[in-house]
Amino acid sequence: KAGVTQTPRYLIKTRGQQVTLSCSPISGHRSVSWYQQTPGQGLQFLFEYFSETQRNKGNFPGRFSGRQFSNSRSEMNVSTLELGDSALYLCASSLEWRGDTGELFFGEGSRLTVL
Amino acid sequence: AQRVTQPEKLLSVFKGAPVELKCNYSYSGSPELFWYVQYSRQRLQLLLRHISRESIKGFTADLNKGETSFHLKKPFAQEEDSAMYYCALGGSNYKLTFGKGTLLTVNP
């Protein structure tokens, strides 16, 4: 079955702009998580959604937001972009949080560069 | 608070040598520990979970609650083991906390 799909794969924005990233989970998966990956900080948790409800949010400013749709697809938005937002944004899905295997299935990521 | 520490950013070994990637965690509840791996140009993927107590690709990891550690071990490293390895901690709050990762290089 198809894996987690993230779009766009690459994008370049300038400071002050906003960006929306999309994630389509594996069919049947209802939990979607987002992580920011940078060389200095590694993988940092942004948020987790299940059945359109945000169940947890990481330690990021309010400029970072997300949502999940009824078909489990998820989007995240970053407004008023800063240089430090340049990162690889990873989406991961699972049947249910930790489910039977505790396994998160990751997408390839959306690489955001802020100039 | 949940915290995962991987003390080595880089680890280089020769093929056939034993390898141990260290992971220490901090968590007040009952932890679930995982090792994830990212091979070159591939997605991050689960390698193993402490709860399953299985060996995957020759790797094992034992949860030591007394030392709050979950080190990953393999007795004989192979070149194809070269990858980025992340230790991760799951609690009851719908998130995984990852360590910063260890880049393992297995030299021929």
The single-letter DSSP state of residue A26 is P
* Range in A29-43, A84-98, A99-113, B88-102 with the lowest mean pLDDT: A99-113
The contact set of B with A (CB < 8 A) is 32, 34, 43-46, 49, 51, 86, 90, 93-101
Asked if B96 and A33 come within 8 Å (Cβ–Cβ), the reply is: yes
Find the mean pLDDT for residues A17-28: 97
> Chain B residue with minimal CA distance to A58?
B95
- At residue A99, does pLDDT exceed 50? no
Selection from B86, B87, B84 nearest residue B104 by Cα: B84
Residue of A99 and B75 predicted with greater confidence: B75
pLDDT at res. A47: 93
- At residue A105, does pLDDT exceed 50? yes
Closest Cβ–Cβ partner in A31, A45, A106 for B44 = A106
